[in-house]
Amino acid sequence: MSKDIATPARTKEILKKYGFSFKKSLGQNFLIDTNVLHRIVDHAEVGEDTGVIEIGPGIGALTEQLAKRAKKVVAFEIDQRLLPILSDTLSPYPNVKIIHEDILKADVKSVMEEEFSECKEVMVVANLPYYVTTPIIMKLLEDKLPLKGIVVMLQKEVADRIAANASTKEYGSLSIAIQYYTEAKTVMVVPKTVFVPQPNVDSAVIRLLKRDKPAAEMLDEAFFFELMKASFAQRRKTLMNNLLQFYPHGRAVKEEIEQKLLDSGIDPKRRGESLTVEEFAKVSDVLLPLLKK
């Protein structure tokens, strides 16, 4: 059996063999600690009936650990230079498929139908490039893919924002957008020392388990998201002030907005960061009719 990819010596050897140089623009930081990888796979609860989607496999360090436990792994890699390396490092694993495509442009639903018909469940497990973490997670959730969940490594600061509770300084539109679809929990913090090259910040692994149905019901989902984002437009302002900016004719309907908020049990002087997902759903329902005016 070949040595694990994720050791400093083996990683160095692979990079040297292929003359590979890191591209800063692609946010490439490779993991060189097998224990961390084992723990990520544990947190994702990958088993013999699990299909796994990986994003940005690099030289295959996490892919290898997933392949040892999963039924099938499909990894999306955007960097063409890594394809021959992956074909070499992952040659012992027939249950791995590499797709050379940008996950943000891919038709993931079709890939899932095609590749995972024999799997009981599908998880996304990845060490995400920092610069596109949020767009990738939001795409996976907004496309309403039949996933069990997502376990990803990302910048600790972003993980803190995703898992934040209402009335904390990290809580914002990102927390709500992701918690609307999933139950979010940071499961481990990862020091920068276990990567090459070392990033400037620590990382964290977050686990997002898909909810059977969204965290709240509302009349118009698109409006709920618009209104919620608008409520955080200027964090230091009250909910009322942000809403007046949001409505094109805000001043004209000021009293109505105020009254509708009070009727739904929400103090207009509260700040957006103090409202839960359910409260935002309530606010979006009572304010929706004002858009039509």
Question: What whole-number distance in Å separates Cα of residue 118 and Cα of residue 158?
Answer: 34
Instruction: Residue 181: name the closest of 208, 206, 156, 146 by CA.
Output: 208
Tokens 């993931």 belong to 108
At 164, phi and psi to the nearest 5?
Answer: -65, 150
The tokens for 39 are: 């723990």
The tokens for 102 are: 């940008």
Confirm whether residue 102 is marked as ligand binding: yes
- DSSP string for residues in 188-221: EEE-GGGEESPPSS-EEEEEEEEPSS-SS--S-H
Confirm whether residue 77 is marked as ligand binding: yes
Confirm whether residue 208 is marked as ligand binding: no
CB 96 within 8 A of CB 90: yes
Question: What whole-number distance in Å separates Cα of residue 138 and Cα of residue 156?
Answer: 17
CB 157 within 8 A of CB 134: no
Q: Strand 50-55's sheet: what is its strand order?
A: 96-99, 72-76, 50-55, 121-127, 149-155, 203-210, 182-190
Confirm whether residue 31 is marked as ligand binding: yes
Confirm whether residue 51 is marked as ligand binding: no
CB 26 within 8 A of CB 79: yes
Confirm whether residue 60 is marked as ligand binding: no
At 51, phi and psi to the nearest 5?
Answer: -100, 140
Report the binding-site residues.
29, 31, 56, 77, 102, 127
Binding site for S-adenosyl-L-methionine, by residue number, is 29, 31, 56, 77, 102, 127
